[in-house]
């Protein structure tokens, strides 16, 4: 056989019955019979649409051609789905771990020390990326690890990216030690002089009084305990919004750091309530922390009760959010890699310049 099959019929077809001369010699008849026995293609098989289809009518490659029966195409799609499903699940789990470890995580609020900003059983979404792009601001609601801050133990160290991924992977499946996770509002950042109270009973930062009525629990005073501290470098002064029932920096002034917590213990910023739906809302920085006077020079360092206090804990929720986000990201990625594999397979089935490859030549007929 010579030449591509889409432009020329296989050799020997001219000697077939449709193009033979009127003389039927015994030798020609024997040759025709031998060609038929050896599997020479017929006139119908010589059409361009059938040239790329192997014997049996089944097209090779991931995509069935127009000549493939519907039942066979359905079976191919089903087999393809079950082959792709493990890849989809693996990619989704990988993305879920990455999202949970480095980007977003949901936490459940089990106590009322941040009321009414955060109520019991609220679910908040915590942004873990934000503090890689900007410093911690006054007024941020932060989730942090209490181990080594107020609780006995060493201050947690995040470790390198691989250690963080390993820790996130372990916690994804219920292993590891999550620590004593707490949630509070940042009142003072490093270098701030935080004190209570002025003549009107208000908390002051760098001598500027805070107007806290927009987020404090209704009827709650800014503080019943008095304090006067300059926040050390690398640390934060944090308080709950329900000041009567919040175990915060005021109650740990005898601890190392004078009640402050290390910035390295901060996991991220709570920026939105995602559950229940009736409580959905953004958690902005209150306007009182936007006063330009707060950024003035802080005063010199100064010297350095009551109802049951709540520690404003924030418990990690089930891994629903990272899993949903993981699957949302895995679906387009799986679809994309499938498209790439399909196109590569199609190109392999085509000859140079986009022509279908010619079928392998048949063995010469036996005479």
Query: What is the C-alpha separation between 193 and 205, in angstroms, rounded?
Result: 6
Six token digits for residue 149? 């801050």
Angle between helices 161-172 and 70-102 (to 10 degrees): 120
**How would you classify the pairing of strands 281-282 and 227-230?**
unpaired
Helix (H, G, I), strand (E, B) or coil at 350: strand
Helices (H), the chain: 26-37, 48-51, 70-102, 130-133, 161-172, 320-349
User: For residue 226, what are the contacts with CB-CB under 8 A and spacing of at least 6?
Assistant: 196, 197
CA distance 294 to 357: 76
Instruction: Report yes or no: 141 and 269 within 8 Å, Cβ to Cβ.
Output: yes
**Residues carrying an active site annotation:** 113, 184
The tokens describing 305, both together, are 């009760």
Q: How far apart are CA 342 and CA 273, in angstroms?
A: 43
Q: Report the candidate in 275, 257, 301 with the shortest Cα–Cα distance to residue 144.
A: 257
Is the sign of the CA dihedral 137, 143, 145, 151 positive or negative? Answer: positive
Instruction: Name the token pair of 238.
Output: 């944090």
Nearest to 126 by CA among 242, 246, 266: 266
Count of beta carbons in the 10 Å neighbourhood of residue 295: 14
Structure tokens of 38? 């050896």
- Within the chain, strands assigned E span 104-108, 123-127, 141-145, 181-188, 193-196, 203-205, 208-209, 227-230, 235-239, 261-262, 266-275, 281-282, 315-316
Distance between CA 314 and CA 178 in Å, rounded? 11
């Amino acid at each position: 056989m010579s030449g591509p099959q889409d432009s020329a019929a296989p050799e020997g077809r001219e000697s077939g019955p449709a193009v033979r001369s009127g003389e039927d010699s015994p030798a020609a008849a024997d040759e025709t019979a031998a060609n038929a026995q050896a599997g020479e293609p017929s006139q119908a098989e010589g059409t361009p649409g059938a040239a790329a289809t192997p014997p049996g009518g089944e097209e090779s490659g991931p995509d069935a051609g127009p000549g493939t029966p519907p039942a066979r195409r359905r079976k191919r799609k089903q087999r393809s789905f079950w082959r792709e499903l493990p890849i989809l699940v693996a990619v989704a789990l990988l993305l879920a771990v990455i999202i949970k470890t480095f980007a977003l995580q949901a936490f459940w609020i089990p106590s009322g020390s941040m009321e009414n900003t955060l109520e019991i059983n609220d679910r908040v979404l915590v942004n873990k990326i934000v503090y890689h792009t900007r410093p911690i601001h006054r007024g941020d609601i932060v989730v942090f690890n209490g181990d080594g801050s107020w609780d006995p133990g060493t201050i947690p160290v995040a470790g390198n990216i691989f250690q963080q991924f390993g820790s996130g992977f372990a916690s994804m499946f219920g292993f590891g030690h999550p620590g004593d996770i707490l949630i509070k509002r940042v009142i003072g950042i490093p270098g701030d002089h935080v004190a209570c109270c002025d003549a009107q009973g208000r908390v002051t930062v760098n001598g500027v009084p805070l107007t806290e009525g927009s987020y404090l629990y209704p009827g709650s005073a800014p503080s019943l305990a008095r304090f006067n501290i300059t926040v050390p470098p690398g640390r934060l002064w944090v308080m709950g919004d329900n000041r009567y029932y919040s175990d915060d920096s005021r109650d740990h002034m005898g601890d190392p750091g004078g009640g402050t917590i290390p910035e390295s213990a901060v996991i991220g910023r709570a920026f939105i309530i995602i559950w229940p739906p009736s409580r959905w809302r953004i958690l902005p920085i209150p306007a009182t922390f936007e006063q330009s006077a707060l950024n003035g020079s802080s005063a010199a360092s100064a010297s350095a009760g009551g109802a049951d206090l709540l520690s404003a804990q924030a418990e990690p929720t089930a891994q629903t959010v990272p899993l949903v986000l993981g699957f949302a990201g895995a679906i387009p990625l799986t679809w994309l890699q499938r498209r790439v594999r399909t196109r590569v397979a199609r190109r392999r089935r085509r000859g140079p310049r986009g022509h279908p490859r010619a079928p392998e030549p048949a063995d010469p007929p036996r005479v």
